[in-house]
Structure 1
Amino acid sequence: MSSDLRVAAVDLGATSGRVMVGTVGAGHLALEEVHRFPNGPVRVARPGGSTLHWDILGIYRETLAGIAAADRAAPIAGVGIDSWAVDYGLLDGDGALLGNPVHYRDARTADAIQRVRAIVPDDELYDVTGLQQLPFNTLYQLVTEVGGPRLGCAETALLIPDLIAYWLTGEIGAERTNASTTQLYDVRARTWAVDLADKVGVPARLLPPLRSPGEVIGPLVPEVADDLSVPRLPVVAVGSHDTASAVVGVPAEPGTNYAYISSGTWSLVGVELDEPVLSAEAMAANFTNEGGVDGSIRFLRNVMGLWVLSETLRTWEVRGVPADLTSLLAEAAAVPRLRAVVDIDAPVFLPPGDMVARIGKACRDTGQRPPATPAEIVRCILDSLALAYRRTVRQAAALSGRPVDVVHVVGGGARNDLLCQLTADACGVPVLAGPVEAAALGNVLVQARTLGVDLPDVAAMRALIRSTHEPRRFTPSGDGGEWSAAEARSRGVSAT
């Protein structure tokens, strides 16, 4: 279709990155993957220990390769970038990067929450930022650098998609949906919380000008365009936190009471609101209020996600144990449900390492027989993940006052039929699964609107997704009581 618009969506995940070409027109929306590459932490030794880093120049190199590939088949009109949250690069006064960004799973922030708590009480911090307490939030990462040489030399901190955009365009800034994940953003005023930064010793100069999804950041700098043999394409600010883009990609019907689960390495579980929920109850439940596209609020909680499964598969691979995921899921479906469950959000499951041993210990610590076979271990992980989804969906509904009648699962987890069915069973409401590439779709649609496609609001974007990407439906079955009993067992408490 000659009137269709083609754009490149750079979608950077914590385990892989990809560049997708989106084609958008009247009643038409299609995605094509043109480049994919592995991504992950790199452990580097240092005196007294080691540090997990991101290979940021490798990520940038692959991003450039993807943009070039996107333009080769047919001209593209723009580029948008989304990625995981919280991690950042520091630039000096000349705009040079001060070392590789540190990975959020690095152990350096182990005591950072306590350090901040001694300066700013939890309730004061939540009242300003509305953010879930996670040890890797940008605030805590930066606090660990206060007084250190890098922070002393730094003039700007750029979150990962903003850093990539800076190298592409030469323009410095921070996109709001990702800025809202830093715990340095005032969720009411929707600007940087400069007073908070000052209190904890983070220099306010590090916080760059804010921009909103839909703004044109700038054209590719001539050197990049020449190297890639492409025009000076505009780089458009999208929902640069991948969950913000994924929520745009949720094909919800107008007026429905829905929750979403953006299911990938992490699972982001929540509801979409107009205003933040900053109650004491929301703080106690460790819910977060993050910015969405067009000023919405993503009221959600981070759930550990498919990280536990992928790290289990890696453990088996290292040991030489055959671990074909498709076969394991088929075998796991035949394992009786809820035989063994763990609290998948427990801190022990956060760092890389031997998940098999950790799952076994968690089961023994709660008086359960540990799963013995690979299929039983996979079933334990998925049952436990569905339990966490159940708990979080119910909390989101209660805390926001928004009932939930259907759950939309988007992202990689939407491919997992067993997990989707278990989620429907656990939550007791239908699950609509898909699209898998919701983040890329949200990225593409925000770009398309900026570049002239008639998509006046997020509702119009979702209508286009519904008409072109039909989700799969999973209907709940089983007894809700057994899930309540399993919830108690996962935490080692009596169900009575």
Structure 2
Amino acid sequence: MDDTIKLLAIDLGASSGRVMLGIYDGDTLRMEEIHRFANIPVQIRGQLYWDVLKLFHEMKQGIQKAHRMFGQLQALSVDTWGVDYGFLDKQGQLLYSPHHYRDQRMAANSTSMEALLPPREQFALTGNQPSLINTVYQLYSDLQGNVDLIQTVGKILMMPDLFHYLFSGIAVAEQTIWSTSGLLDAASSEISEEVFNRLGIPTAIIPEGVSAGTVIGLVDPEIQAELGIGPMTIIAGASHDTASAVASIPYIRKGEAAFISCGTWSLVGMETLEPVVTDQSYEYGFTNERCFGSTNRLLKNITGLWILQECDRNWAEAGEPVSYSEMVQLAGTLAQAPAIIDPNDPIFSTPGNMPQRIREYCVKTVQPVPHTKAEIIRVILESLALSYSQTIDELEALTETTIRTIHMVGGGIQNELLCQLTANATGREIVAGPAEASAIGNIVVQLAAIGIVEASAFRDIVARSYTPVSYHPAIVKHS
């Protein structure tokens, strides 16, 4: 008799989605990728949208494949990046495909919104660093662009909540994903009445709030029949992918540890008991989001491996593709980068010819111009490491904590050179792993939600299941 617990984590990243199977045997967790699919936004008349129905179809294919390979599955949960959402009408139907956060419609409405809700007041009320991509800017822009929309909307669902609704027919507002929106009160994590009142948005469009790790219901019987599966529980887990990633971290010294979730974006931060909503945290550019267990993530978003990914795309289009391992090897042939860039400079935030933009940045800042692929890759990696170091120093100042260990998780840890450069730049031990942090965190939160393990024990499961790699500073920290 098979006594293992089999759960599905559906993890949507910047360019692809994955259906990941987690198998828990009572002691350790094993992950297996079942189905991978593209997650590419669709441009229509100058606006950018999620291809939501295709993604839902791919999710169903992954569930069906997992059931065929491994038998009955107990539960599933979806995690995505933050800020994006979809509208349901008053009959519960999806109004239109949700906008993608890289859409540009917010720029035309930001000035009028900030007149009603100035950036510093946004931060004081919600703990979220103001940004055009935030849900609050997107929602205000949608309502300004279509004055009749508010009469049609029944509910607004963040993207994981939307997929859970499509599977179950039950609408909820899960806390970790909503904490990225700029619409929740910093202290209580409830809807900020002040924000909604100032912007003239009715709070009735927000579904019932639930904490991470809440059982929603079962997969709709029609979907069960369509896929040929039995009953599966739908769980609102740590639905924000960074919240899931942080839930997977097997801290060595939690009170003295920071984290870097390293992928297309780099999220650098630490867990705190309460939001840090101070003038200094605002000036430094930090934001506050919720974790599983209702602790706080004090973090900064840094444009991460997106810059390297765009270089790779540019070289591939020119007929000169470079594999991931070749990139690391090329950068490793140089003793140091010829120049340093600011990864958060707006010039690097949108798609385009990234190698040329790096050269232009270096000309503008009067630095040696990198020409070879090795030089460009090394510039990116060293610049990211130095940006991480600055952010870690700011975290220490904000929290009055000595950070001795940095846990790096996510796909970026497969770049061993980046891990070592980060150890060198920060002067601290880097503990790298697990790579599949979001999917693993998704699964362990589900295990807690269905009562298989205590919430206090699931980091121990991760520690037993995955062996991290440590990197120690090889040179004196940059001044």
Question: Could you state the TM-score of these two structures normalised by the residue count of structure 2?
Answer: 0.96
Determine if contact 2:260/2:266 at 8 Å carries over to the other structure. yes
1:281 matched to 2:280? The reply is yes
Q: Which amino acid aligns with 1:116?
A: M
The correspondence of residues 181-196 of structure 1 with structure 2, limited to 5 A, is 181-196=180-195
> Quick one: distance in 2 between partners of 1:462 and 1:112?
43
1:268 matched to 2:274? The reply is no
Partner of 2:343: 344
134 and 33 in structure 1: CA distance in 2 versus 1, 3 angstrom threshold: same
CA RMSD of aligned residues (A): 1.5
1:27 matched to 2:9? The reply is no
Q: Secondary structure at the match of 1:43?
A: strand
Q: Which amino acid aligns with 2:287?
A: T
1:102 matched to 2:99? The reply is yes
Which among 116, 120, 125 is matched to residue 117 of structure 2? 120
> Quick one: distance in 1 between partners of 2:398 and 2:292?
22
Offset of 1:86 from its aligned partner? 0.5
Q: Secondary structure at the match of 2:142?
A: coil
The CA deviation string for residues 49-84 of structure 1, in whole angstroms up to 9 with x for no partner, is x11111111111111111112222222111111111
Q: Secondary structure at the match of 1:361?
A: helix
Question: Could you state the TM-score of these two structures normalised by the residue count of structure 1?
Answer: 0.93
Determine if contact 1:25/1:453 at 8 Å carries over to the other structure. no
Q: Which amino acid aligns with 1:62?
A: E
> Quick one: distance in 2 between partners of 1:110 and 1:450?
40
Partner of 2:410: 411
The correspondence of residues 393-412 of structure 1 with structure 2, limited to 5 A, is 393-412=392-411
> Quick one: distance in 2 between partners of 1:28 and 1:206?
41
The CA deviation string for residues 309-335 of structure 1, in whole angstroms up to 9 with x for no partner, is 111111112222232221121011112
Partner of 2:425: 426
Partner of 1:493: none
Offset of 1:440 from its aligned partner? 0.8
Which among 50, 64, 85 is matched to residue 54 of structure 1? 50
Offset of 1:370 from its aligned partner? 1.8
> Quick one: distance in 1 between partners of 2:388 and 2:112?
31
Partner of 1:451: 450
Partner of 1:305: 304
> Quick one: distance in 2 between partners of 1:182 and 1:296?
17
Q: Secondary structure at the match of 2:440?
A: helix
> Quick one: distance in 2 between partners of 1:12 and 1:281?
33
The CA deviation string for residues 165-196 of structure 1, in whole angstroms up to 9 with x for no partner, is 00000001111000000000112111111321
The correspondence of residues 318-357 of structure 1 with structure 2, limited to 5 A, is 318-357=317-356
Deviates more, 1:35-44 or 1:231-240: 35-44
Partner of 1:129: 126
The CA deviation string for residues 103-149 of structure 1, in whole angstroms up to 9 with x for no partner, is 11112222544333211233322121101222100011111112333
Aligned sequence identity (%): 39
The number of aligned residues is 476
> Quick one: distance in 1 between partners of 2:181 and 2:199?
14
Partner of 1:489: none
Partner of 2:144: 147
Determine if contact 1:261/1:267 at 8 Å carries over to the other structure. yes
Q: Give ranges in structure 1 of 5+ residues lacking alignment.
A: 485-496
Q: Give ranges in structure 2 of 5+ residues lacking alignment.
A: none
Partner of 1:492: none
The CA deviation string for residues 10-54 of structure 1, in whole angstroms up to 9 with x for no partner, is 11111111011111233211111111112122222x2xxx11111
> Quick one: distance in 2 between partners of 1:166 and 1:26?
30
> Quick one: distance in 2 between partners of 1:96 and 1:333?
53
Offset of 1:251 from its aligned partner? 1.3
The CA deviation string for residues 182-211 of structure 1, in whole angstroms up to 9 with x for no partner, is 000112111111321221233323222111
The correspondence of residues 227-238 of structure 1 with structure 2, limited to 5 A, is 227-238=226-237
Partner of 2:8: 8
The CA deviation string for residues 361-409 of structure 1, in whole angstroms up to 9 with x for no partner, is 1111110122101121111111111111111111112112222101110
Q: Secondary structure at the match of 1:213?
A: coil
Determine if contact 1:105/1:350 at 8 Å carries over to the other structure. no
Q: Which amino acid aligns with 1:167?
A: L
After the TM superposition, which segments of 4 or more aligned residues of structure 1 sit over 4 Å from their partners?
none
> Quick one: distance in 1 between partners of 2:9 and 2:34?
10
Determine if contact 2:127/2:276 at 8 Å carries over to the other structure. yes
Q: Secondary structure at the match of 1:259?
A: strand
> Quick one: distance in 1 between partners of 2:416 and 2:468?
12
> Quick one: distance in 1 between partners of 2:111 and 2:435?
38
Q: Which amino acid aligns with 2:107?
A: A
The correspondence of residues 468-487 of structure 1 with structure 2, limited to 5 A, is 468-480=465-477, 483-484=478-479
Offset of 1:238 from its aligned partner? 0.5
Q: Secondary structure at the match of 2:212?
A: coil
> Quick one: distance in 2 between partners of 1:102 and 1:152?
19
Determine if contact 1:216/1:237 at 8 Å carries over to the other structure. yes
Q: Secondary structure at the match of 2:380?
A: helix
Partner of 2:247: 248
The correspondence of residues 192-203 of structure 1 with structure 2, limited to 5 A, is 192-203=191-202
Offset of 1:213 from its aligned partner? 1.4
Q: Which amino acid aligns with 2:137?
A: Y
Partner of 1:36: 36
> Quick one: distance in 2 between partners of 1:5 and 1:220?
18
323 and 456 in structure 1: CA distance in 2 versus 1, 3 angstrom threshold: closer
Determine if contact 1:112/1:135 at 8 Å carries over to the other structure. no
Q: Secondary structure at the match of 2:129?
A: coil
> Quick one: distance in 2 between partners of 1:33 and 1:324?
21
The CA deviation string for residues 209-262 of structure 1, in whole angstroms up to 9 with x for no partner, is 111112111101111111111112110111000000000111112555110011
Determine if contact 2:8/2:19 at 8 Å carries over to the other structure. yes
Q: Which amino acid aligns with 1:324?
A: S
